[in-house]
Amino acid sequence: MPVLSDDPSSLDTLPTPCLVLDADRMDRNITRLRGHLDGLGVGMRPHLKTAKSVEVAQRLMPTPQGPATVSTLQEARRFAEAGVRDILYAVGISPAKLPEILALRAQGVDLAIVLDSVEQAEAVAAASRAAGTAIPALIEIDCDDHRSGVQPGDAVRLRAIGAALAQGGALRGVMTHAGGSYRARGAAELRACADAERDAVLSAARTLRAAGHDCPVISVGSTPTAHHATDLSGVTEVRAGVFVFFDLVMAGIGICSVDDIALSVLATVIGHQREKGWILVDAGWMAMSRDRGTAKQDVDQGYGLVCDRDGRPYGDLILVDANQEHGIIALRPGASGMLPDLAVGDRVRILPNHACATGAQHDRYHVVRAGSDTVEAVWPRFGGW
Amino acid sequence: MPVLSDDPSSLDTLPTPCLVLDADRMDRNITRLRGHLDGLGVGMRPHLKTAKSVEVAQRLMPTPQGPATVSTLQEARRFAEAGVRDILYAVGISPAKLPEILALRAQGVDLAIVLDSVEQAEAVAAASRAAGTAIPALIEIDCDDHRSGVQPGDAVRLRAIGAALAQGGALRGVMTHAGGSYRARGAAELRACADAERDAVLSAARTLRAAGHDCPVISVGSTPTAHHATDLSGVTEVRAGVFVFFDLVMAGIGICSVDDIALSVLATVIGHQREKGWILVDAGWMAMSRDRGTAKQDVDQGYGLVCDRDGRPYGDLILVDANQEHGIIALRPGASGMLPDLAVGDRVRILPNHACATGAQHDRYHVVRAGSDTVEAVWPRFGGW
C-alpha cells in the first residue's frame, strides 16, 4: 500500500490546491493598523468576516473578549463559543433573526445589531419588550450612496427610528461603512472618503442627541478609510476586516503593497499548452473564488497574481482564466518577458483578488512564516450562516 | 428564553440565506437528458462536481455504483465511501496525487485518471510499476482550444503518450470536454460543437488504434453539447453535470428555460433605498457566489434573477449588486415596470448564474417540491479537496 501524499508539514507535500497564510505578513498588517489607530486615539473593532477563524481573531482583537464585528449569526455563534463577549452584527437585522440575537445575549454576549428603518426599530422594540431585555441597536448611516443606511441629513427618519427604538429597544449609536472608498484612488481621495465617513456619522449623532437620545457609539470603518483617516475626533471605534490579509484589490487601491498580501493559494502544475503560452494548474475558481475585483482597476490581475512556492511574484504572470478546478497561467496581456520554466508537479502560490472571497472557498489555513516552507500550524476556518 | 427561529420545516421559517432545491425540476432535468441519450444509444457518466451530494448522485447515476465523473479527490473519496465503484477523475493528474489514486483503487474503486502529456504518462507508468497494478488513464483531447488536452491531429504526441503509458499504466481511452460550447448560441451552432467534440475524440482514437493501442472508452461531454448531439456513433459515454440543476447561464445559451432551474437561494428582505428603487436582502455574494456568467450573454442577470417565495420570477427583477452579506435587488437596467411591494422580513428566491458556483457556497440543500413550501428533506453537500 502506498503512503498517502498528505504530509502536512511542508509546502512541497501539502495536497493542492490549499490556502496558505503567511503569519509574518498578517502580524505586520495588524501591527500597522493598530499603530495608526492608536495614533489617532481610537479603538478597533475588527471585522472577523474575512478570517472566520478563532486563531486569527485572537491575534486581531484588542482582547480575547473583543470587541469584534461579524457579518453572520454563524460568526456570532462561533466567536461567542470561543469567548468573545462584545460583538456587533453589522448586517441590517431581519425580525426572524431576533430570537437568536436574544438567545446569544442571554448567554452573556453583548451582541448589538444594526438597522436603518422604523419597521426594523419597531420589531426590535417589540421583541425586546416581549423578552424583558433591551436589544441594543446602531442606526446605519449611508455615507456614500453605495448600499444601505439612512442619509445623514434625513433628520425625520433618524428621529423616527430613535423614537421607535425607545419603545423597548436601546439606541446604542450610529455606524457607517465607506464601501465607496473601494473606488477611490490616491491618498487625497482616500482621505476625503475617510473624512466623509466620519462626518456622516457625527452629523447623524448630533441629530439624535438633539432629539434627546443617548448615542454613545460612533462607529466607522472600511480598510481603505481606516488606513487613510487623519482625524477621527468624535469617533469611538473603527471597523476593518480585509486588512488582516490584504489582497490584490487593496494593492490596486494603494492601501498595501503586493508584498503585504498574507493569503495565497498553493497550486500544482498539471499541464501546458506551450504554443499558447499557457501553464495549467489545479487551482481553478473553486480554489480562488470567482472574484474578479481587479477587473475594474488599472491593473487587471485576472484570477490572481502568480508567485513561486516561496511567495515571490514572477512579475507579469497571472491566472488569466479559471474553470472549476483548472487554472490557466499566462503572461498578462501585452506583457513582454518569458514564461518561467515550470514542469508538471511544480508548485506555485497565487495571490487573490479578494481575501474574503478566496478564504471562503477553504476550510483551513496552512500557516507559514516568511521565507520558510514549513507549515507550522493548521487553523480551521468556518463558513455558513 | 425565546425559541430559536430555525424550524427547518418550511420556506417561511428556514434561516436565510440558504439553498433550496426543487426536486421536481431536478427529476425532470435528469429524465430529459437520460431520454435524449437513450435515444442516441449512449450511456451517461454524470459529473458530480455540480451536486457534491450523495443523495443527488444517487438520483443522477445510472446505478448506485456509477459510473460517475468527479473533479477532485475529495469527491472521489466521498462517493467511493457511499458505494460508487466506477469513477473518472477528470482533471489532469499531478504525480503527487497518484498515491491516493492507488489507495482508492486498492479499496475496490475503478478510479481512472486523465492526462495529456508524456511526462504525466511516464509518472503514471512508474507509479503503476511500483505498485504492481496498472492505473487506467484517458488521454484528454482538446476539441475547441479552450483549456487542456492534446490536439486531435497531433499524432506524434498521442503515440508518445500511448507508448509511455504502455510501460506500466493502462490506456483506457480518450476524453474531451467542449467547454467552448458555452459561447455558442442557437441549435445549429450547438450541434456543430457536439459534432466537433465527437469528431475530435474519434480522430484521436483512430490514431491510437492504428498505433496498436486498445482504446475502449470514447468519452465526451458538456451540458450544451450533450443536449444538442444528434449522432454519437462511436462514442461510449457522455459526461455532463450542471444539467441536473441548470442555471441562468444555461438558460441564456438556450439549453433550458428559466422554469427548469432547480436551484435557488432563499433570502429575506432587510431594507430599502426607496428613492433609488433598491430592495436589500440578506443574500450577498457569499450566498450567490461571485459568478457573473451571464455578464457576457445577451441578457445580463446580475447576481441572479429574483423570484417570489414559490419560485415564480418577478420578471425584470435581478440582484444588481452584491456585497459579502448584502444583496441589492432592483429592476434590470432599462426595464420599465414596478418594484414588487416587498416589506422587511418578506422572502424571495434568487436563481443563480452558475449552479456549480452557487452550490459551492452552501453545505446543504433544502429540498422542496414544485408549488409547495414544505422542506421535505435536508441533503448535505461537501466541498474541499
Q: How far apart, in whole angstroms, are the C-alpha atoms of residue A279 and residue A314?
A: 13
Stretch A60-73: mean pLDDT: 98
Chain B hits for A15, Cβ within 8 Å: 73, 96-97, 385
Instruction: Report CB contact under 8 Å: A325, B71.
Output: yes
Yes or no: say if A179 and A157 are a contact pair by the CB < 8 Å rule.
no
Q: Are residues A222 and A281 in the same domain?
A: no
Cα-to-chain-centroid distance, residue B270: 32
Question: Is A12 inside any structural domain?
Answer: no
Instruction: Report CB contact under 8 Å: A360, B286.
Output: yes
Length of chain B: 385
Q: How far apart, in whole angstroms, are the C-alpha atoms of residue B64 and residue B83?
A: 7
Q: Is the confidence at residue B337, as pLDDT, over 90?
A: no
Place of cell 478564504: A359
Residues 215-274 of A with CB under 8 A from B: 268-273
Instruction: Report CB contact under 8 Å: B357, A285.
Output: yes
Question: Is A1 inside any structural domain?
Answer: no
State the complex-level ipTM. Answer: 0.96
Cell numbers for B354: 452558475
Q: How far apart, in whole angstroms, are the C-alpha atoms of residue B226 and residue B230?
A: 9
Stretch B315-334: mean pLDDT: 96
Q: Are residues B144 and B266 in the same domain?
A: no
pLDDT tier at B371 (50, 70, 90 boundaries)?
confident
pLDDT of residue A371: 84
B275 vs A: CB within 8 A: no
Q: Are residues A262 and A205 in the same domain?
A: no
Chain A hits for B72, Cβ within 8 Å: 286, 325
Question: Is A252 inside any structural domain?
Answer: no
Q: How far apart, in whole angstroms, are the C-alpha atoms of residue B348 and residue B342?
A: 9
Yes or no: say if B385 and B73 are a contact pair by the CB < 8 Å rule.
yes
Count Cα neighbours of B24 within 13 Å in the Cβ-side half-sphere.
9
Each as own residue / partner, the long-range contacts of residues A155-164 (CB below 8 Å, 24 or more positions apart, any chain) are A155/A207, A157/A118, A158/A204, A158/A207, A158/A208, A158/A211, A159/A207, A159/A208, A159/A211, A160/A118, A160/A121, A161/A115, A161/A116, A161/A117, A161/A118, A161/A121, A162/A208, A162/A211, A162/A213, A163/A211, A164/A118, A164/A121, A164/A122, A164/A125
DSSP string for B101-123: HHHHHHTT-EEEEEE-SHHHHHH
Stretch B278-293: mean pLDDT: 98
Yes or no: say if B104 and B80 are a contact pair by the CB < 8 Å rule.
yes
Cell numbers for B148: 487542456
Q: Is the confidence at residue B3, as pLDDT, over 50?
A: no
DSSP string for A275-326: GGTEEEES--HHHH-S--GGGGSSS--BT-EEEETTS-EEEEEEEEEE-SS-
Question: Please, which residues have CB within 8 angstroms of residue B222's CB and are 6 or more apart in sequence?
Answer: B177, B178, B179, B181, B182, B193, B197, B239, B240
Q: What angle do CA A118, A123, A127 make, to 5 degrees?
A: 150
A383 vs B: CB within 8 A: yes
Yes or no: say if B69 and B46 are a contact pair by the CB < 8 Å rule.
yes
Crossing angle for the helix pair B118-131 and B98-106, nearest 10 degrees?
A: 40
Length of chain A: 385
Q: Please give the single-letter amino acid code of residue A71.
A: S
Instruction: Report CB contact under 8 Å: B4, A100.
Output: yes
Q: Which region, left, alpha or beta, applies to residue B367 given φ > 0 means left and ψ of -120 to 50 means alpha?
A: beta
A132 vs B: CB within 8 A: no
Largest CA distance in chain B: 76
Instruction: Give the DSSP H/E element, type plus range, for residue B21.
Output: strand B18-22
Q: Are residues A52 and A156 in the same domain?
A: yes
Q: Are residues B36 and B185 in the same domain?
A: yes
A131 vs B: CB within 8 A: yes
Taking CA atoms, A159 is separated from A94, A155, A220, B47, in Å, by 21, 6, 20, 56
pLDDT of residue A8: 67
Which of B213, B244, B275 lies at the terminal end of a domain, its last residue?
A: B244
pLDDT of residue B8: 67
Q: Is the confidence at residue B4, as pLDDT, over 60?
A: no
Cell numbers for B104: 482508492
pLDDT in tens, B259-272: 999 999 999 999 99
Least CB–CB distance from A2: residue in B18, B103, B289 = B103
Q: How far apart, in whole angstroms, are the C-alpha atoms of residue B49 and residue B76?
A: 10
Instruction: Report CB contact under 8 Å: A179, B323.
Output: yes
From B138's Cα to the closest Cα of chain A, the distance in A is 15
DSSP string for B197-210: HHHHHHHHHHHHHH
B383 vs A: CB within 8 A: yes
pLDDT of residue A24: 98
Q: How far apart, in whole angstroms, are the C-alpha atoms of residue B67 and residue B85?
A: 7
Q: Are residues B31 and B165 in the same domain?
A: yes
Instruction: Report CB contact under 8 Å: A324, B3.
Output: no
Instruction: Report CB contact under 8 Å: A96, B345.
Output: yes
Instruction: Report CB contact under 8 Å: A49, B324.
Output: yes
Nearest CA in chain B to A93: B270
Q: Are residues A226 and A274 in the same domain?
A: no
Cell numbers for B172: 483506457
B16 vs A: CB within 8 A: yes
Mutate to test the interface with B, among A140, A273, A276, A290 (most CBs of B within 10 A): A290
> A34-54 b/e with 16+ CB inside 10 Å = b?
eebbeeeebebbbbbbbbbbb
B357 vs A: CB within 8 A: yes
Residues 310-339 of B with CB under 8 A from A: 323-326, 328
pLDDT in tens, B150-204: 999 999 999 999 999 999 989 999 999 999 999 998 999 999 999 999 999 999 9
B214 vs A: CB within 8 A: no
Count how many domains chain B has.
Answer: 2
Residue A287: how many other CB atoms lie within 10 Å? 29
Nearest CA in chain A to B93: A270
Q: Are residues B189 and B325 in the same domain?
A: no
Place of cell 425584470: B316
Question: Is B6 inside any structural domain?
Answer: no
Q: Are residues B240 and B264 in the same domain?
A: no
DSSP string for B65-111: TB-EEESSHHHHHHHHHTT--EEEE-S---GGGHHHHHHHHHTT-EE
Stretch B319-343: mean pLDDT: 95
B142 vs A: CB within 8 A: yes
Q: Tell me whether strands B263-273 and B278-281 are parallel, antiparallel or unpaired.
A: antiparallel
Which of B244, B271, B296 lies at the terminal end of a domain, its last residue?
A: B244
| B274: DSSP letter | G
A344 vs B: CB within 8 A: yes
Nearest CA in chain A to B149: A273
Q: Is the confidence at residue B7, as pLDDT, over 70?
A: no
Size of interface A-B (CB pairs under 8 A): 195
Question: Is A59 inside any structural domain?
Answer: yes
Mutate to test the interface with B, among A94, A119, A138 (most CBs of B within 10 A): A94
From B96's Cα to the closest Cα of chain A, the distance in A is 6
pLDDT in tens, A34-53: 999 999 999 999 999 999 99
Which of B214, B244, B274 lies at the terminal end of a domain, its last residue?
A: B244
Mutate to test the interface with A, among B290, B326, B347 (most CBs of A within 10 A): B290
Q: How far apart, in whole angstroms, are the C-alpha atoms of residue B370 and residue B20?
A: 11
Q: Is the confidence at residue B215, as pLDDT, over 90?
A: yes
Yes or no: say if B341 and A362 are a contact pair by the CB < 8 Å rule.
no
Instruction: Report CB contact under 8 Å: A357, B323.
Output: no
Stretch B231-246: mean pLDDT: 98
DSSP string for B297-320: SSS--BT-EEEETTS-EEEEEEEE
pLDDT in tens, A218-256: 999 999 999 999 999 999 999 999 999 999 999 999 999
pLDDT of residue A336: 86
Residue B39: how many other CB atoms lie within 10 Å? 9
Count Cα neighbours of A212 within 13 Å in the Cβ-side half-sphere.
4
* First-to-last C-alpha distance (Å) of chain B: 41
CATH of the domain at B271: 2.40.37.20
Question: Is A15 inside any structural domain?
Answer: no
Tell me the residue ranges of DSSP E strands in A26-67.
43-44
Q: Are residues A239 and A265 in the same domain?
A: no
C-alpha dihedral (A336, A342, A346, A347), degrees to nearest 10: 0
Chain A hits for B131, Cβ within 8 Å: 2
Q: How far apart, in whole angstroms, are the C-alpha atoms of residue A80 and residue A362?
A: 22
Question: Is B358 inside any structural domain?
Answer: yes
Q: Are residues A283 and A175 in the same domain?
A: no
Question: Is B310 inside any structural domain?
Answer: yes
Q: Are residues B212 and B337 in the same domain?
A: no
- Residue range(s) defining the domain that contains residue B360: 258-380
Q: Is the confidence at residue A55, as pLDDT, over 70?
A: yes
CATH of the domain at B106: 3.20.20.10
